[in-house]
Each structure stands twice: as structure tokens, then as C-alpha cells.
């Protein structure tokens, strides 16, 4: 660990270039927060690492196919449904195309969650290899 001339650790330890690049590729800015939207492959990785996946589509859309571990909270119910989500984990929000998920992720950020939206929605999720069950 590096120290300042006074012998104390620096306020922000230097990050390697590799770490910064990996954060950018994964959708996380240098401060560790999530971007407002991420590509589906990044979303799949975030969920595999423990992020909660929230599907904000309507019930009929949900029944046509959804990710196995997703929590179903229709967009109009995000404020109430947020109580079911663990506060300490990142949240990845998905819909059909990415429009509603952006709104849902913003609502969750306003409620104090670290949330991001899946660009391209469920179609992109599936193209990136994300599992879907009916």
C-alpha cells in the first residue's frame, strides 16, 4: 500500500489501468456506481455476481417468458414493489425493449437503490445468452 508523505494511506488508493478498464467494460464508472444502462452481456454478468434482476413488463409479457431468477414488478408498481428488493445489492431492470426499464431503474435510483437498465430489453438479454423460462 502506498502512503502519503505523512505516513497515512491516500484518501483514494490508485487503481490500476486494468481495473479501470474492466469497470468501464462491465458498466461501472470509476466510483463503483452503475451506469444508467448497460448492455445485456454486462447485465447477465451483474446478475451472475449477485445483482437482483427486476422485470418491469406487464403480467401478459412476463408469462411469455422471463429470466428464471427475475423478480416481477410491473413498472406502475415499482415504488410499492421496491420493498421486496434487498437494499444492499445492485438492481438490473429489464423490460421488452429498454424503454420502461430505464424509467424503472430511475425510480429505483430515486428510492436509494443502485440500479441500471438493460439496453435492448429481453430480446437483447436472450441474444446475449441470458436464460428465459416460460
Catalytic residues: 95
Strands 52-55 and 91-94: parallel
- Closest by alpha carbon to 116, among 22, 30, 52? 52
Q: Is 94 helix (H, G, I), strand (E, B) or coil?
A: strand
Residue 76 grid cell? 406502475
* Count of CA atoms in the C-beta half-sphere (13 A) of 18: 0
Q: Which helix (H) or strand (E) holds 23?
A: helix 17-26
65: region left, alpha or beta (phi > 0 left; psi from -120 to 50 alpha) = left
Amino acid at each position: 500500500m502506498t502512503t502519503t508523505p505523512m505516513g497515512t494511506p491516500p484518501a483514494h488508493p490508485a487503481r490500476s489501468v486494468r481495473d479501470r478498464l474492466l469497470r468501464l467494460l462491465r458498466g461501472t464508472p470509476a466510483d463503483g456506481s452503475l451506469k444508467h444502462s448497460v448492455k445485456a452481456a454486462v447485465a447477465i454478468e451483474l446478475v451472475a455476481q449477485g445483482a437482483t434482476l427486476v422485470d418491469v413488463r406487464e403480467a401478459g409479457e412476463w408469462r411469455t417468458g422471463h429470466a428464471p431468477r427475475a423478480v416481477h414488478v410491473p413498472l406502475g408498481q415499482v415504488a410499492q414493489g421496491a420493498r421486496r428488493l434487498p437494499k444492499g445489492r445492485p438492481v438490473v431492470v429489464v423490460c421488452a425493449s429498454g424503454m420502461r426499464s430505464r424509467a424503472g431503474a430511475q425510480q429505483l435510483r430515486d428510492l436509494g437503490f443502485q440500479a441500471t437498465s438493460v439496453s435492448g430489453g429481453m430480446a437483447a438479454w436472450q441474444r446475449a445468452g441470458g436464460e428465459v423460462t416460460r
